[in-house]
Amino acid sequence: MPTRKIIHIDMDAFFASVEQRDNPELRGKPVAVGGSRARGVVAAASYEARRYGVHSALASKIAAQRCPQLIFVKPRFEVYSAVSRQIREIFYSYTDLVEPLSLDEAYLDVTENKIGMPSATIIANEIRAKIQAETGLTASAGVSFNKFLAKIASDMNKPNGFTLIPPDKAEEIVAALAIEKFYGIGKVTAAKMQSMGILTGADLRARSEEELVRNFGKTGRYYFRIARAQDDREVQPHRIRKSIGSERTFEVDLTEEEVMLLELEKLAKEVAHDMERLHATAKTITVKIKYFDFNQTTRSKTFLGEIKSADAIFTIARDLLRTPQLPAYPVRLLGITASSLLYQHDKMEGYQLTLEF
């Protein structure tokens, strides 16, 4: 097999950068997208905010404490989605093998590409330049011969950076990498590894596959391979989402059923909109309830038929909210997720004719 040429493109502080681009008054200032000083969660933080320890998934109240001058901005997901589509058109001008991971990052396989360019480095830097010229935003890129290494590389020189990990340097770079920097190893797993004396890639490589499987299950085989810079996963241009959801944290805890239902109706419309955009239907609806004390619960229901309309999603979510009873404590967050998804192309392939007798 020829050596693959994989690029990972990662937009720099995407949501926050879009806000700073569209509002010059925010440029050079610490910005948090999502949440408020009172409550909520940060969805994204500008690099100016990150210097104070503000990052995504951080409680807004803590973010405000760390950075008193932090500016909170309401997210505009429709704008971020539009910019993301604009960026993907740039990707597709080079290759159809594009695997989006989220609105702001994607893998590209340019081993064979539309412009006949043998250098993935040149393509990656052309893409970065086009993104900046067409959107006013910067992106970081990593290039290597597999997805794991390309992802690691894109994070090495952020923001607005580029890193190449060639085959002859791969094992050396992985060996020196701190275990918490490994893509696919989260905080909990990293902490467990550190307690076992696994602090770097070299430490991970020293462990047998049997030991890693014994301690981490099937994923241990993946850890064994990436410690050796091995990853044979292909770029998947038709990566299928397993669920579609939306949730909202409230400024003030909800206690009235009428208000909760209004919020569920908004969430149902958002989920239905995304399902329509992706030509998907669902068979399972889940309602997530987080209480004032951060305890949370989920309530789900699965149906034989397909669910796709906002009215149907809302009706099911309303029933789930009331079953077995309405929340007994103040609610700080509500969410709706549609899962067991069926896409239109799947239905076409597996269509069954119904005859009326």
Q: pLDDT tens, 26-61?
A: 999 999 998 888 778 898 999 999 999 999 888 899
CATH superfamily, with its number, for domain 243-346: DNA polymerase, Y-family, little finger domain (3.30.1490.100)
Given CA atoms 256, 333, 242, 7 in this order, what sign does their dihedral have?
positive
By DSSP bridging, strand 139-144 and strand 162-164 are: parallel
277 confidence band (pLDDT: 50, 70, 90) = confident
Query: What pLDDT, on the 0 to 100 scale, is given for residue 191?
Result: 95
How far is Cα 285 from Cα 279, in angstroms, rounded to an integer?
Answer: 17
Which residue did the predictor score with more confidence, 108 or 78? Answer: 108
May I ask the CATH architecture of the domain 1-165?
A: 2-Layer Sandwich (3.30)
pLDDT number for residue 214: 96
Question: Does the pLDDT value for residue 323 go beyond 70?
Answer: yes
Rounded distance between C-alpha atoms, residue 8 and residue 142, angstroms: 5
Asked if 12 and 140 touch (Cβ cutoff 8 Å), the reply is yes
- The pLDDT tens digits of the residues spanning 77-91 come to 889 989 999 999 999
Could you give the angle at which helices 219-226 and 209-216 cross, rounded to 10 degrees?
Answer: 140
Write down the pLDDT at residue 229: 96
Q: Judge if 1-165 and 243-346 fold alike in CATH terms.
A: no
Q: Given this model, what pLDDT does residue 164 score?
A: 98
If you search the block for the tokens 């040149």, which residue do you land on? 122
Closest CA to 60 of 79, 33, 41: 41
CB 80 within 8 A of CB 15: yes
Cβ atoms within 10 A of the Cβ of 331, count? 22
- Residue pair 26/19 in contact (Cβ under 8 Å)? The answer is yes
Show binding-site residues for Mg(2+). 10, 104
**Amino acid letter at 320?**
L
Q: What is the pLDDT of residue 168?
A: 95
Q: Which residues are catalytic?
A: 105
| Domain residue ranges in the chain | 1-165, 169-227, 243-346
CATH topology of domain 169-227: DNA polymerase; domain 1 (1.10.150)
Query: For 169-199, what is each residue's pLDDT tens digit?
Result: 999 999 999 999 999 898 899 999 999 999 9
- The confidence score (pLDDT) of residue 241 equals 78
Regarding pTM above 0.85, the answer is no
pLDDT reading at 220 higher than 70: yes
Give pLDDT, residue 274: 87
